[in-house]
Amino acid sequence: MDYVSALLPPVVMAAFFIGLVVTIVKSQGGPNKAKEDAAVDAALARAEAARQPGGSTAS
């Protein structure tokens, strides 16, 4: 029975990891994709705008 107690934690962790990956893959796209893409684009634009003034004064 020692082999069962030795193998149980990795098997349980693997099952949870597979479930996590499946959940992430299933949640990609769908009706919220455009909203998520817009949020990322806005964050990138803010980061770019904040970075440019510092870069232009250093030149």
Instruction: Give pLDDT, residue 21.
Output: 95
Instruction: Give pLDDT, residue 53.
Output: 65
pTM of the model: 0.48
Length of the chain (residues): 59
List Cα–Cα distances, 54 to 15, 47, 57, in angstroms.
48, 12, 6
pLDDT in tens, 21-54: 999 888 877 777 778 788 899 999 999 888 876 5
Instruction: Give pLDDT, residue 14.
Output: 97
pLDDT in tens, 5-26: 899 999 999 999 999 999 988 8
Transcribe 11-24 into DSSP letters.
HHHHHHHHHHHHHH
Phi-psi region of 28 (alpha: psi -120 to 50; beta: other; left: phi over 0): beta
